[in-house]
């Protein structure tokens, strides 16, 4: 294991460890999981994005299958708030089947039976985070995100995957409206309020599960668009690798930094900056989700 970078982004002296491999394969994913040193035990939820119909940059079932099966995991998702091909449970189940996820594991649409409320402590927008009611059934979470751009958030990584991703349809409405609405899909929320609401929802999930969670970002197919886009833009940069940490803030920050360091990251950088995407990470650190200071190790 080799230390690649010691990065300080704030006055906070806490330093998190982030691990990286350039090997984007099932073997590489297994190696990055083992490097974390935290074993997924009990009933394990593996949170991914199932991908919108028509899209094709979501994480490959072939890539994730060995890890999911090693931990006897259940792939978990929640329905969208904007309709589309995953706006209700029946349609969403068809998507996860067509995209190949049911071939490798059981898939649970966690808000199929409604929502449950978990508290947001110290939030200025959200008092609660509404997540899929089945979330209570799990002992451990593998937050397995595809890092890429996003039309509203600028980018999506593990913070988005545990906030918008674990939120029920109702919870997604709350986040998008900065706590004002539990139905519909608000497009009029001030941008920073929306980004801060994502960070607050991420804090709620992190607090709820405690240490029973790990965070992994796969940096491939680095489109400016999200897996929730049915017609995403073609990536304009090369794949980077798989990164993981026990700190979601440090992990997303490290991935952002790698995009900036890449010689071909112009399009994704423009997408992130046009949406003030880094503010999600900044605010997440401010409210205590994690630290932006990290040591990056190559495994």
Dig out the tokens for 1 from the structure.
Answer: 């294991």
Domain range enclosing 112:
2-298
Domain CATH number, residue 222: 3.40.50
Q: pLDDT in tens for each of the 299 residues of the chain?
A: 888 889 999 887 789 999 999 999 999 999 999 999 999 999 999 999 999 988 889 999 999 999 999 999 999 999 998 878 897 999 999 999 999 999 999 999 999 999 999 999 999 999 999 999 999 999 999 999 999 999 999 999 999 999 999 999 999 999 999 999 988 888 899 999 999 999 999 999 999 999 999 999 999 999 999 988 888 999 999 999 999 999 999 999 999 999 999 999 999 999 999 999 999 999 999 999 999 999 999 99
Q: What is the 3-state secondary structure (H, E, C) of 70-125?
A: HCCCEEEECCCCCCHHHCCHHHHHHHHHHCCHHHCCCEEECCCCCEEEEECCCCCC
The count of structural domains within the chain is 1
* Cα–Cα distance measured from residue 120 to residue 26, given in angstroms and rounded to the nearest whole number: 35
């Amino acid at each position: 294991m080799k230390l690649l970078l010691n990065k300080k982004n704030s006055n906070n002296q806490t330093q998190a460890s982030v691990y990286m491999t350039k090997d984007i394969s099932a073997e590489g994913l297994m190696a990055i999981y083992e490097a974390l040193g935290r074993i997924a035990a009990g009933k394990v939820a593996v949170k991914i994005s199932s991908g919108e119909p028509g899209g094709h940059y979501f994480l490959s079932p072939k890539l994730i299958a060995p890890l999911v099966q090693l931990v006897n995991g259940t792939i978990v998702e929640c329905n969208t708030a904007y309709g589309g091909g995953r706006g209700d449970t029946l349609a969403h189940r068809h998507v996860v089947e067509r995209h190949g996820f049911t071939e490798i594991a059981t898939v649970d649409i966690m808000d199929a039976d409604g929502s449950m409320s978990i508290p947001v402590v110290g939030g200025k927008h959200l008092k609660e985070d509404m997540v899929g009611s089945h979330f209570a059934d799990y002992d451990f979470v593998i937050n397995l995100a595809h890092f890429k751009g996003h039309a509203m958030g600028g980018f999506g990584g593990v913070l988005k995957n545990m906030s918008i991703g674990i939120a029920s349809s109702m919870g997604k409405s709350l986040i998008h409206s900065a706590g004002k609405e539990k139905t519909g899909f608000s497009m009029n929320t001030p941008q920073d309020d929306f980004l801060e609401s994502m960070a607050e929802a991420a804090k709620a999930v992190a607090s709820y599960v405690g240490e029973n969670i790990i965070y992994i970002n796969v940096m491939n197919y680095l489109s400016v668009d999200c897996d929730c886009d049915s017609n995403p833009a073609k990536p304009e940069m090369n794949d980077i690798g798989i990164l993981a940490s026990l700190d979601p803030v440090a992990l997303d920050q490290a991935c952002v930094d790698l995009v900036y360091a890449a010689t071909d990251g112009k399009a994704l950088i423009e997408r992130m900056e046009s949406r003030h995407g880094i503010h999600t990470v900044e605010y997440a650190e401010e409210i205590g989700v994690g630290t932006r200071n990290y040591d990056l190790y190559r495994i």
